[in-house]
Amino acid sequence: MIREFRRRRRQIIREHNVKTCDALILATAIIHSAKILYTHDGLKKSGRKTNLLKLDGEVEIPIEPPDAAKYKGWDLFAQSDNDE
């Protein structure tokens, strides 16, 4: 799994010109079969590197900014009935 992760990270950096940190985040999401990647990366103007939001539609998973209104009052640390 580590080899696959490193291969994916290098591939993302090479093909999409993203920063190493962003490539780590994206490779992790892809390797673990995330259904969607929420990020604020790309909402503000930055340097020459590609922001993650610009990659939406170019990689295996959708990338979107989080909608704060959708999660208002949602307790991220609350246990569900299935967690025991």
For the cut 60, the answer to whether the pLDDT of residue 24 exceeds it is yes
pTM comes to: 0.70
- With respect to residue 71, please indicate whether it lies within any of the assigned structural domains: no
Q: Is residue 82 part of a domain?
A: no
Domain of residue 42, residue span: 2-66
Instruction: Tell me if 76 is assigned to some domain.
Output: no
Residue 24 lies in a domain: yes
Instruction: Classify residue 18: in a domain, yes or no.
Output: yes
Is 28 within the bounds of a domain?
A: yes
Label residue 46 exposed, middle or buried (CB < 10 Å: 0-12, 13-18, 19+).
exposed
Whole-number average pLDDT of the chain: 80
In a domain, 78, yes or no: no
Q: Is residue 83 included in any domain, yes or no?
A: no
CA 4 to chain centre: 17
Mean pLDDT of 12-30: 92
Whether residue 83 is predicted with pLDDT greater than 50 in this model: the reply is no
Tally the domains of the chain: 1
